[in-house]
Amino acid sequence: MQQLTVFMDIESSRSYIDELYSPDATKVVEALVTLKNSVIGSNRQKSSVIQQGVVPRLLQLMSDEALDPNIRLEATITIGSLAKGTPENVATLVEQGTATALVELLRTVPIGTKLVEAGLCALRSVFLHPPAPIAALPADMRLLTRLTQIAREGTATARCCVVRILSVWCGGHMEQEALCQAGACAAIAAMLANGRNSAPPLARALPALELLANMCFENGNVSQVALNTRHGDKTIPELLMCLVSRDKPLPVALGAARCLTFIHRAGALTADDNRVVFGALPCLARLCTKEMPEEIRAKAAETLSYLAEVDTSLQRLAAISNHLMSSLADIVNCPSAAAKQGAFKCFASLGANDEDIRKRIIETHGLMKHIVSEMKNPEPSIRLAAVRCLHSLSRSVQQLRTTFQDHAVWKPLMQLLNDSPGTELLTVGSSTLCNLLLEFSPAKEPMLDQGAVEMLCNLTKRPEAALRLNGIWALMNMAFQAEQKVKQRILCCLGTEQMFRLLGDSDTRVIMKTLGLLRNLLSTRQHIDAIMSEYSSQVMQAVIVVLEGSYPAEVKEQALCILGNIGDGERARDFIMANEDVLRKLVDYLAHPESKLQEAALFVASNLVRCSEAGAAARQARLADLGVLRALKLLGARQDAAHLHDNDFFSE
Amino acid sequence: MAAIGSGRGTMDSQNQVQSDTVDRLKLLYPNVNEDETPLPRSWSTKDKFSYIGLSQNNLRVHYKGGMQGPGRRPHLPYLHLRLWMYRHGKTHKDAASVRATHPIPAACGLYYFEVRIVSKGRDGYMGIGLSAHGVNMNRLPGWDKHSYGYHGDDGNSFCSSGTGQPYGPTFTTGDVIGCGVNLVDNTCFYTKNGHHLGIAFRGLPPNLYPTVGLQTPGEVVDANFGQQPFLFDIEDMLRELRARTRLAIDEFPLPDGQGEWQQVLHRMVSTYLVHHGYCSTAQAFSRATGQPIDEDIASIKNRQKVSKLVLSGRIGEAIELTRRLYPGLLERDHNLLFLLKCRQFVEMVNGTDSEACGDKACGAASNGVATSVISHTSHPHAHAHAHAHAHAHMCAANGQDVLPHTNGVREEGVGGECTAAAAEEEEEERSRDVDMTPPHNGEHAHAHLHTGSEQLPLKGMPGVTASVAALMAQYRAGGCVCEAAEGAACAEAAAAGDGCGARASVERMLAFGRDLYAMSQKLTQDLYHKSMLEDAFSLLAYSNPWDSPVGWQLEPVRREAVCEALNSAILGDTSTTKSEHKNKYAGLYSRKEAQGMQWVSPVEACAAHSRELLRRMSRAGLGACAFADLPALLRR
């Protein structure tokens, strides 16, 4: 039976496919209709027809302006039908230039005709299959203006199709600006306006909201235009405010809240604007509640995390809205990756700044055990989100000492970071490590045993600045008030060469943290002497490099602080006294116009000449020779340095 | 002077606010029948603990402490007073609550009120919530059974328990806390400064009162029961619930067999058309849908004729036609006859009923200007003359209306009415009354003239007599006062050549009224009849009835109820009972028995049934009734 139908298909298709090439228009139409009917609803037939190489002929029939309009229409509809097939079918169609041909068709055919509608439907189907052939639609202003005109004036189907296509197409800053210039905002406003009933129909509103969100994403200029675009007596934000209300379909409310969120984050609406505070925020909090379908909750949580990411007042507000935290804790238990990820991200945003909220997240909702277990989730996006959440929560000193310790959070984290993770995960994870390695953190010791030092040292060799920064930062934290063996281990592992490399880093923050690490390494007197006995030349060289180089003042300040620390060491200070270069620099810095550099230089000098120590007199004399006293007198005369006068330099 | 002026201004604006508040609450809770279940509008001066003081129209609550016992605020020197203040409010014994004047009606569907914390006082131990009648007031809301509260000091919610659950943020001076009760789901939520905090309680019992409790000196809170705009967008939630209820109704699953909507709807439409006598439409519909029409076409047409007469205000003719077509109907149903007669009286005042002043009615009808017997003056003699005209006019009008009147039948009808409707001693007057139907021959007009010219002294109509007598005098003295105004409208009266015949026609009305009164005496006394009669008679007390407090009766739309009653009676004929009619006249379709369905069309029965169900839901505490918007559902 199966055999027979296949045979018949091929048999029958052969005949009408031949007809497609007939010079007789009526025969071509008949063949097209037969072809169209045969491929509708059957992926197998679509594949078969495409394999037979009919597509170029169809495109030709569609594009030839000399042909009967009916032929062109039927050909376009058939292409549209083929574009609804499998991803492979669509890929083949795109390869054969379907997308470009359709775009060309749209350039010429008058708006409002059936041909335009069929062409748009086909192009939409093509665009909905990732990867969309973005390049087929150039950012040509005439074309875009024409498309937005269709979005305003076309038939209902054409409007929805064109906006859908544009929403997929609008993926970057250039596209956003081009669409904005072509008047897409006005078209969107028209599509969001009320229909005869109280709300625009779902099919019309959803693509428009999608396009608006994509256009406003991180684009302050477009957001500002959207803010002022009106349809009838309502501006776009006012239309959105209508759509976020509770009686609207959930996807529409979510889409509208998303647009308001993006407009806010692009800087066009302030965080205390009513449309954010009473429009987007409560809507998203409501969409996170248990009554909502999972996919809505997932997207709402993710959007809310973006909304509240930076603003503390919005975080506080969200935290009390509609039991949001319970809702999120519940979403964490949802099976889908999107939901878990959204919930973790949202928790991360909520806890970003406010200690109270962090405490509530952890204490009332027992989130930590979920984070720990999801950090082992096979899905990378979930692992990433869980670590993000952990990072946000790790900003709490109290939590570091309690919950983090109770759950031995560092274990899965270390495991994750050692397990060759992606850059993003590594960035967030190492940021978390920085917090976990703070001196008051009880996780510090066990992490050292797990090879944290080696891992961090490796991080400092990464090409990504953020990773280098996190690595060196974590090392700095680790070295703070650490035991000598830890310090030795860091120095040993990092190596002086790497340290010099870091001092020459393109990122000033990395240099700052490297010097900070040196300072922390050279803290208490015994440690200073011990380390200097081993690395004196390298350290002194590093300091000189910085002091001589063209670094910003705060970097040089760090270098002077290191000198100060060295000057505190029993034997170590001799390394300074022996280095005339350094001493001369010190005198120079005492006269430096930058007061914080003067201050730091003063700190070094006072350490060197402290009289209770052995050999102080000799050092005083040496410094006096170099003109320190003169520099100090000048300093004393300066009004703005008054706070520096109170020191023991003249105490003799 | 200016001061006084401005003073008045504020007074006015206050009054304005007052009337606005009424509207605001009505707008928020349109389905609440405040006669049955009043809305809470202020705190109760009685239902409160003595430590609570009220002010500002009983909307502000402050903690004043007791007159005796531990909470009493003593007269002490300043420092001692501070010490007392410090100690006071330390224990639960110092807590005090106040309830609103009324419980929350279920028909609100979603109820909401807001409380602004004017001052947190010493410690801010404030509770906002709900409690049932009789719950101890020496407590904060939430501590006892059937009591629910959200407390400002710790942000906890208390659900009939001394220990709270973590719920929301704390609240203090300047915050606005809202409390919403969803009477569909029986849940309660709070808001803080317009932000929804989430559901606090589920499974609430019915009939809870808004309640606040205070515990330490200096605590002051203001309530807003809806008189002022809320901070929280409650409208949004109302819309949601409306949409939800609508969806629930739309998607209600029907058992097999009853789910054949098409069939049911066709039947509904068809019966509706038949019921109201839209004969040709019904036939056309029947042809298109294959719905059988149960009633004879001729019978529908007859009812249509009667209805047309009633709707055009020609009640006398309608009565006449009814008697002819459905002999015995009105005799059996005195209440219906009384209703018709009452309406006839009103139409006489209106000037539309043909027998009052046939010609002018026609004149008025053709001119499109309302005219009245009262404003028209017509001499008895001229009246007869006019009737002759009226006859001609009527025929013209009837031609349009397709009203075939035949003399023979009509006269039989007259006889029938005489015997049945009129009491023995008033038979004479009755017959004259009957005469008021449009005469079809000159002889009849003459008879009318004779009976009409006989005048009876006013008697036996307490309450109405005096005013009517006064009116009579007035008309006798200056009968042409109104005529001047409406003279243009009654060209034919002018043609009759006599402009001061008001007396006769008014007297005829009075005579008619006396009959009506006598008739009402014989009916079972009930308030509805009495008030209907009084309303009708009251029309005579005004020089311009249209512009009077009882003028609403003259509106043509009032004919519809009468028309419907008559139509129903014809359809139901003998099956209707007195009480049913009474209810029906009052607009209450409370009957449930299927047996009498003929007298009301299924679609109306369905609507009425739904209305009654909504009322019952409201009484049974089912809040969803607030969101089943019947008119909106029917419009769709």
Model confidence pLDDT, tens digit, residues B332-389: 888 888 888 888 888 888 777 755 444 443 433 333 333 444 444 334 444 434 444 4
Residues of A in contact with B194 (CB under 8 A): 278
Token code pair at residue B256: 């097999």
| B169 → chain A, closest CA residue | A320
Residues of B in contact with A289 (CB under 8 A): 198
CA atoms within 13 A on the CB side of A370: 23
Mean pLDDT of A571-598: 83
Report in angstroms the alpha-carbon separations of B360 from B355, B495, B506: 10, 11, 14
Task: Count the helix, strand and coil residues of chain A and give each as a percent rounded to the nearest 5.
Answer: 75, 0, 25
Token code pair at residue B566: 């008559």
A129 touches chain B (CB under 8 A): no
Please count the residues of chain A: 652
Please state, in angstroms and rounded to a whole number, the distance separating the CA atoms of residues A370 and A376. Answer: 10
Token code pair at residue A110: 């008058």
Nearest to A227 by CA among A268, A192, A288, A194: A268
Residue B97 amino acid letter: S
Token code pair at residue A85: 């097939």
Mean pLDDT across chain A: 86
Do B568 and B600 touch, CB atoms closer than 8 A?
Answer: yes
Per the DSSP assignment, residues forming a β-bridge with B111 are B181
Please state, in angstroms and rounded to a whole number, the distance separating the CA atoms of residues A435 and A470. Answer: 10
Please state, in angstroms and rounded to a whole number, the distance separating the CA atoms of residues B448 and B508. Answer: 11
Mean pLDDT of A232-248: 91
Do B344 and B315 touch, CB atoms closer than 8 A?
Answer: yes
pTM for the complete prediction? 0.73
Nearest to B237 among A246, A285, A364 (CB): A246
B9 touches chain A (CB under 8 A): no
Residues of B in contact with A247 (CB under 8 A): 236, 239-240, 242-243
| B636 → chain A, closest CA residue | A197
- Cβ contact A246–B239 (<8 Å): yes
Please count the residues of chain B: 636
Mean pLDDT of B263-286: 81
Residue that is written with structure tokens 């994870």 in the block? A429
Residue that is written with structure tokens 């098409």 in the block? B262
Check residues A203 and B482 and name the one with the higher pLDDT.
A203
Do B47 and B99 touch, CB atoms closer than 8 A?
Answer: yes
Check residues B246 and B58 and name the one with the higher pLDDT.
B58
Nearest to A59 by CA among A26, A14, A95: A95
Q: SS3 for B417?
A: helix
CA atoms within 13 A on the CB side of B212: 33
Please state, in angstroms and rounded to a whole number, the distance separating the CA atoms of residues B400 and B311. Answer: 15
Instruction: For an interface test with B, give the residue of A278, A320, A328, A360 to mutate (most B CBs within 10 A).
Output: A320
Residue A214 amino acid letter: N
Residues of A in contact with B240 (CB under 8 A): 245-247
DSSP code of B141? T
Mean pLDDT of A559-574: 83
Residues of B in contact with A292 (CB under 8 A): none
Q: How far is A321 from chain B (nearest CA, A)?
A: 5
DSSP code of B597? G
Residue that is written with structure tokens 């409306």 in the block? B242
Do B313 and B347 touch, CB atoms closer than 8 A?
Answer: yes
Can you list the alpha helix ranges (DSSP code H) found in A419-524?
423-436, 444-449, 452-459, 465-479, 484-494, 496-503, 508-521
Q: How far is B169 from chain A (nearest CA, A)?
A: 7
φ, ψ of residue B620 in degrees (nearest 5)? -85, 5
Report in angstroms the alpha-carbon separations of B349 from A42, B262, B451, B547: 78, 47, 20, 13
Check residues B228 and A626 and name the one with the higher pLDDT.
B228
Q: Quick one: pLDDT at residue A98?
A: 93
pLDDT in tens, B150-159: 999 999 999 9
Q: SS3 for B310?
A: helix
- Cβ contact B197–A285 (<8 Å): no
Do B445 and B387 touch, CB atoms closer than 8 A?
Answer: yes
Residues A156-193 as b or e (16 or more Cβ within 10 Å = b):
ebbbbbbbbbbbbbbeeeebbbbbbbbbbbbbbbbbbb
Say whether pLDDT at A568 is over 90: no
Q: How far is A262 from chain B (nearest CA, A)?
A: 21
Nearest to B239 among A245, A286, A321 (CB): A245
Q: Omega before A131 cis (within 30°)?
A: yes
Nearest to A14 by CA among A1, A33, A31: A31
Of the segments A621-630, A641-650, B56-65, which one has the largest average pLDDT value? B56-65
Token code pair at residue A33: 């209709």
Report in angstroms the alpha-carbon separations of A243 from A211, A240, A280, A597, B236: 15, 5, 10, 58, 11
A286 touches chain B (CB under 8 A): yes
Q: Quick one: pLDDT at residue B461?
A: 39
Q: Quick one: pLDDT at residue A173?
A: 93
Span between the terminal Cα atoms of chain A, in Å: 113
Sign of the Cα pseudo-torsion (A245, A249, A254, A259, in order): negative
Please state, in angstroms and rounded to a whole number, the distance separating the CA atoms of residues A506 and A465. Answer: 8
Residues A204-231 as b or e (16 or more Cβ within 10 Å = b):
bbbbbbbbbbbbbbebeebbbbbbebbb
Chain B 173-212, residues with CB within 8 Å of chain A CB atoms = 192, 194-199
Residues of A in contact with B195 (CB under 8 A): 282, 317, 320-321
Chain B 139-168, residues with CB within 8 Å of chain A CB atoms = 166, 168
Q: Quick one: pLDDT at residue B468?
A: 46
Residues of B in contact with A287 (CB under 8 A): none
Do A248 and A203 touch, CB atoms closer than 8 A?
Answer: no
Say whether pLDDT at A427 is over 60: yes
Token code pair at residue A346: 């949202």
Q: SS3 for B433?
A: helix
Please state, in angstroms and rounded to a whole number, the distance separating the CA atoms of residues B382 and B54. Answer: 72
Check residues A17 and A392 and name the one with the higher pLDDT.
A392
Residues of B in contact with A326 (CB under 8 A): 198
Check residues B237 and B417 and name the one with the higher pLDDT.
B237
- Cβ contact B197–A323 (<8 Å): yes
Residue that is written with structure tokens 């569909």 in the block? B184
Please state, in angstroms and rounded to a whole number, the distance separating the CA atoms of residues A8 and A2. Answer: 10
Please state, in angstroms and rounded to a whole number, the distance separating the CA atoms of residues B47 and B135. Answer: 10
Please state, in angstroms and rounded to a whole number, the distance separating the CA atoms of residues A352 and A390. Answer: 10
Say whether pLDDT at A244 is over 60: yes
Span between the terminal Cα atoms of chain B, in Å: 57
Per the DSSP assignment, residues forming a β-bridge with B208 are B132
CA angle A232, A248, A191 (to 5 degrees): 35
Of A194-208, B34-48, B416-430, B562-576, the least confident: B416-430
A247 touches chain B (CB under 8 A): yes
Token code pair at residue B409: 């039948």
pLDDT in tens, A351-390: 999 999 998 888 867 788 889 889 888 888 999 999 999 9
CA B168 to chain centre: 44
B522 touches chain A (CB under 8 A): no
pLDDT in tens, B237-273: 998 898 888 888 888 877 766 667 777 778 888 888 8
Q: How far is B635 from chain A (nearest CA, A)?
A: 13
Task: Count the helix, strand and coil residues of chain B and give each as a percent rounded to the nearest 5.
Answer: 55, 15, 35
Residues B461-494 as b or e (16 or more Cβ within 10 Å = b):
beebbeebeebbeebeeebeebbeebbebbebbe
Q: Quick one: pLDDT at residue B258?
A: 62
Please state, in angstroms and rounded to a whole number, the distance separating the CA atoms of residues B623 and B614. Answer: 10
Please state, in angstroms and rounded to a whole number, the distance separating the CA atoms of residues B70 and B91. Answer: 10
Q: How far is B236 from chain A (nearest CA, A)?
A: 6
Q: Quick one: pLDDT at residue B598?
A: 56
CA angle B48, B52, B56 (to 5 degrees): 100
Nearest to B192 among A246, A285, A320 (CB): A320
Residues of A in contact with B166 (CB under 8 A): 364
Please state, in angstroms and rounded to a whole number, the distance separating the CA atoms of residues A116 and A159. Answer: 11
Q: How many pairs of residues across A and B have Cβ atoms under 8 Å apart?
A: 39
